Chains A and B, each alone.
Chain A
């Protein structure tokens, strides 16, 4: 009888989990968001069914086996110590459940990981207290909204200019931390046009609470292109670098090798080894970057010469090799860049 009631309740919970209109409360902006919703439904169904049985029996036993006024004061319960069969089953059934859950969640996780790689590459940089975005053909940084075209796979490289932030778009059911000195990548495909808040989920300073004002705009290709052109024109005159470096000449001739070497160990070694090109950490190994017959060109396709290395250091890099923050994100002055180039030029 009790079991039947609990089973009915559990079925109701399962039905509720699977019919609850989650997307009405939180739209699914990207393709994998719907898979995460599937996982949420699956877990909520099994979790609540399990809970209904545990709590149901708990409450039932608690009521049915209470000591009554008619009982002798020293009455004792049934002295059951254990029951091998029962214990066997309630070890094995959760184990089976664990295996099923592992399969389900790994499958969904793989779909998130296996989103296409060769899409639009965007870089998001966490700052205290906003995110800025870099697009392939736009100079400088976009600092208000993040726009993405519908249906085009996106590779989003995340890094930070100061402290750890969390880049979260609830409608994407996806987040990743932006860690200084580290580039992390998430990939996804927008599926639903709309404006979705971007929220910081790692405490990052006094105004952390205010870091939920920016939005991700997903729109059709023509609108996106218009927006894109607008920023291209707006930023046409902006040097590809940020305030502080922009417009200042880099005294390439005045580079100091020793200072560059010291600076390298502070600023660059989190991502680059002084090892052959193939030894990649986050970025490629930089041993003989300017004098490597096997790699006469830099990662941006330009010939390896000091001015182009300086340009990468100044503007950062986003492309097939990943992403590297710009000089202002890295806190490099023009003299620093000159020193680094001088040092790199000595590596042969």
Chain B
């Protein structure tokens, strides 16, 4: 199956207005991701600034984070990036059923990542008594940044769920599927942010 032209309907007629509106929305969405990226960058700056402002890291009294568990959890999230990629590709090529399966897989993996994060939070807070407000700058920066990222994943999962419902209702057609493209971009963005967060919190 070939990829349909953007904005084309079932008969190959191209909706010019849609094509140009899509251009605008795509650009606007990318700019939104840029400014979201600045938001994360500012907090990452804050974390690195505080981390280097004193004590060595982690600060006295706090264990190093458990890399192994987080690594497995990262694999789950990166896997969801792959499934999302295949979902979009399959949609473009008209394999609707496989698209739906990949999309559902993405949602399950995304939710799995959130579950893993909840487990890790639970362990830190109740096992090691490391909390948001009570553990100095470590708790502050770790929970703020990963929490912000977790919220992004959560919103992503919600959005993908809406996508499933919309797709089932036939909102997206072969030539008009900006909603799916945006979802994919967003999901990859969230993945990339996690690569950075994972490196700066667990690896260095």
A–B contact via C-beta, under 8 angstroms: yes
Please list the residues of chain A having a beta carbon within 8 angstroms of any beta carbon in chain B: 258, 261-262, 264-266, 268-275, 281
The chain A residue with its CB closest to the CB of B55 is A269
CB distance from B105 to the nearest CB of A (A): 43
Once the chains bind, are A273 and B61 in contact (CB under 8 Å)? Answer: no
Inter-chain contacts of A270 with B (CB < 8 A) = 53-54
From the candidates A258, A261, A262, A273, name the one contacting B54 in the complex (CB within 8 A).
A273
Answer whether residue B136 sits at the interface, using C-beta atoms and an 8 A cutoff.
Answer: yes
Cβ of B28 to closest chain A Cβ, rounded Å: 35
In the bound complex, what is the Cα–Cα distance between A273 and B51 (angstroms)?
Answer: 11
Q: Is B147 an interface residue (CB 8 A)?
A: no
Contacts of B59 in A (CB 8 A): 265, 269
Instruction: Pick 29 A–B contacts, CB within 8 A, sort by A.
Output: A258-B61, A261-B60, A261-B61, A262-B61, A264-B60, A264-B61, A265-B59, A265-B60, A265-B61, A265-B62, A265-B136, A266-B136, A268-B55, A269-B54, A269-B55, A269-B59, A269-B60, A270-B53, A270-B54, A271-B54, A272-B54, A273-B55, A273-B56, A274-B55, A274-B56, A274-B60, A275-B56, A281-B53, A281-B54
The distance in angstroms between the C-alpha atoms of A261 and B55, with both chains bound, is: 12
Residues of B contacting A273 with CB < 8 Å? 54-56
A264 — nearest CB in chain B belongs to which residue?
Answer: B60
Cα(A275)–Cα(B59), bound, Å: 12
CA distance A266 to B139 in the complex (A): 12
Shortest Cβ distance from B62 into A: residue = A265
Inter-chain CA distance A264–B61, complex, in Å, is 9
Complex alpha-carbon distance, A262 and B130, angstroms: 12
Question: What residue of chain B has the Cβ atom nearest to residue A347's Cβ?
Answer: B60
Chain B residue nearest to A271 (CB atoms) is: B54
Chain B residue with Cβ nearest A270? B54
Question: Shortest 6 CB-CB distances between A and B: which pairs?
Answer: A269-B55, A269-B54, A265-B59, A261-B61, A265-B60, A273-B56
Q: Separation in Å of the B141 CB from the closest CB of chain A? A: 14
The residues of A that contact B53 with a CB separation of less than 8 Å are 270, 281
Q: Which residues of B contact A266 (CB under 8 A)?
A: 136
How many Å lie between the Cα of A264 and that of B60 in the bound state? Answer: 8
How many chain B residues sit at the interface, stated as a range, is: under 10
Scan B39-61; emit 1 where CB is below 8 A from any A CB, else 0: 00000000000000111100111
SS class, residues of chain A in contact with chain B:
loop
| Docked CA distance A219–B8 (Å) | 88
Q: Contact residues of B with A, CB < 8 Å?
A: 53-56, 59-62, 136
Complex contacts, A268 vs chain B, CB 8 Å: 55
CB-defined contacts of B60 to chain A, threshold 8 Å:
261, 264-265, 269, 274
Assembled-state Cα–Cα distance A346/B13 (Å): 78
Q: Bound state CA distance, A281 and B136, in angstroms?
A: 19
Give A343's nearest chain B residue, CB to CB: B60
How far apart are A278's CB and chain B's nearest CB, in angstroms? 14
Residues of the A chain whose Cβ atoms lie less than 8 Å from the Cβ of B54: 269-273, 281
- A262 partner residues in chain B, CB cutoff 8 A: 61
A273 to B54, CA, bound (A): 6
| B residues near A264, Cβ cutoff 8 Å | 60-61
Nearest Cβ distance between residue A263 and chain B, in whole angstroms? Answer: 10
Chain A residues with CB under 8 Å of B55's CB are 265, 268-269, 272-274
Residues of chain A contacted by B62 (CB below 8 angstroms) = 265
Bound together, the chains give a CA A274 to CA B55 distance in angstroms of: 6
CB of A133, distance to nearest CB on chain B (Å): 27
Q: How far is the CA of A272 from the CA of B96 in the complex (A)?
A: 60
- Smallest Cβ distance from A164 to chain B, in angstroms? 16
How far is A265 from B139 in the complex, measured between Cα atoms in Å? 12
- For A265, the chain B residues whose CB sits under 8 A away are 55, 59-62, 136
Q: Which of B61, B62, B136 has the most CB of A within 10 A?
A: B61
A205 to chain B, nearest CB (A): 25
Give the shortest distance, in Å, between B51 (CB) and chain A (any CB): 11
Name the CB-closest residue of A to B59. Answer: A265
Further pairs besides A262-B61, A265-B62, A272-B55: 5, Cβ < 8 Å: A261-B61, A264-B61, A265-B55, A268-B55, A274-B55
Point out the residues of chain A lying under 8 angstroms from B136, CB to CB. Answer: 265-266
- How far is A281 from B62 in the complex, measured between Cα atoms in Å? 21
Complex Cα–Cα for A145 and B55 (A): 36
User: In this complex, what residue of B is CB-closest to A287?
Assistant: B56
B residues in contact with A281, CB < 8 Å: 53-54
Task: Write out the residue numbers on chain B whose beta carbons fall within 8 Å of the beta carbon of A261.
Answer: 60-61
B residues within 8 A CB of A272? 54-55
Chain B residue, CB-CB nearest to A281 = B54
A282 to chain B, nearest CB (A): 9
A216 to B72, CA, bound (A): 63
A91 CA / B61 CA spacing, docked (Å)? 58
Bound together, the chains give a CA A322 to CA B60 distance in angstroms of 24
Determine how close the nearest CB of chain B comes to the CB of A284; give it in whole angstroms.
13
Min Cβ gap A279→B in Å is: 9
CA distance in complex: A108, B200 (Å): 41
Chain A hits for B56, CB < 8 A? 273-275
Closest Cβ neighbor of A265 among chain B residues: B59
